[in-house]
A = this chain, B = another copy of it.
Amino acid sequence: MAAPTKDRPQTRIQREKQDLILDAALGVFSVHGFRGTTIDQIAEAAGMSKPNLLYYFSSKEEIHRRLLEGMLDLWLDPLRELDAAGDPMPELRSYIRRKLEMARDFPRESRLFANEMLQGAPHAIDVLETELKQLVDSKAQVIESWMTAGKITRTDPYHLIFSIWATTQHYADFDVQVRVVLGKDRGGEGRFEDAARFLENLFMDGLRPKAG
């Protein structure tokens, strides 16, 4: 971590600079991926010299690891909040809205995650296989219980979760494309409201219990 000779509590400067570095690094990693990012780029974005940056983090790997950890936690929060005791349709609607808000408010985190996936999750595979899988399994079971109870239409809960992930994160990861295609008139800030309306309708129509 930082580099005090003994393990004292962190100083004010240490906390501030580490946050500054992580923020700068998030911007670079999320665009260029791990291999494509240089320490110099991060250092410049953080407004300091490379050796100075390396005083706070011992390697590029360490910065990346810290970012990935913090991000995965944030990223799974909306799914954790899906409440088995809640009303199914509003619960799923809220989940979609929260995921879309994350894409809007934390696009860099979304892209960092996307980059890691594209590379085959070399740094995150362990977390995926344990934490993520368990969480998704348990929530898939919740969704299935709602189906069994006839509260929502029967479908594949895993692929349902995948498509909620895919559609919401798309607005962060493919932001350029979305803006270009919508054009300057519709590609502004309002695009997230439009997306929210569209996605809620799409999934609610797909999940509303059918007669028979």
Contacts and interface: CB of A to CB of B under 8 A. Distances in A.
Given A119-B32, A121-B177, A180-B125, A198 B159 contact: yes
B166 A133 contact: no
Contacts of A155: 198, 201-202
Interface in A127-159: 128-129, 132-133, 136, 153, 155-156, 158-159
Number of chain copies forming the complex: 2
A198 B120 CA distance: 24
Which has the most chain B C-beta neighbours within 10 Å: A115, A125, A171? Answer: A115
A186 B140 CA distance: 14
Contacts of A9: none
A45 to B, nearest CB: 15
Interface residues of A, number: 58
A95 to B, nearest CB: 15
Nearest to A157: B198
A178 B158 CA distance: 9
B170 A158 contact: no
A177 to B, nearest CB: 6
A156 B181 CA distance: 13
A93 B105 CA distance: 33
A158 B174 contact: no
A51 interface: no
Interface stretch (A12-20, A33-41, A61-69, A80-88): A33-41
Given A132-B181, A203-B206, 9 more contacts: A31-B120, A35-B37, A128-B176, A132-B177, A159-B195, A159-B199, A165-B174, A166-B166, A166-B169
Interface of A: 30-37, 111, 114-115, 117-121, 125, 128-129, 132-133, 136, 153, 155-156, 158-163, 165-167, 169-171, 173-178, 180-183, 186, 194-195, 197-199, 201-203, 205-206
